[in-house]
Chains A and B, each alone.
Chain A
Amino acid sequence: GQSLEQPSEVTAVEGAIVQINCTYQTSGFYGLSWYQQHDGGAPTFLSYNALDGLEETGRFSSFLSRSDSYGYLLLQELQMKDSASYFCAVRGGSQGNLIFGKGTKLSVKP
Chain B
Amino acid sequence: DSGVTQTPKHLITATGQRVTLRCSPRSGDLSVYWYQQSLDQGLQFLIQYYNGEERAKGNILERFSAQQFPDLHSELNLSSLELGDSALYFCASSVVGRGRGEKLFFGSGTQLSVL
List chain A positions with a Cβ less than 8 A from chain B: 30-31, 33, 35, 41-45, 48, 50, 87, 89, 91, 95-103
B107: chain A residues at CB < 8 Å are 42
How many A-B residue pairs have C-beta atoms within 8 angstroms? Tell me.
66
A89 to B44, CA, bound (A): 11
Asked whether A99 lies within 8 Å of B45 as measured between CB atoms, the reply is: yes
Interface of A is mostly: strand
Q: Across the interface, name the chain A residue whose C-beta is closest to B108.
A: A42
Please give the number of chain B residues whose Cβ is less than 8 angstroms from any Cβ of chain A in the complex.
Answer: 28
Q: Across the interface, name the chain B residue whose C-beta is closest to A31.
A: B100
A106 to B55, CA, bound (A): 33
Asked whether A98 lies within 8 Å of B90 as measured between CB atoms, the reply is: no
Is B109 among interface residues, defined by CB-CB distance under 8 A? yes
Q: In the complex, which of the residues B58, B102, B106, B109 contacts A97, with contact meaning CB atoms closer than 8 Å?
A: B58
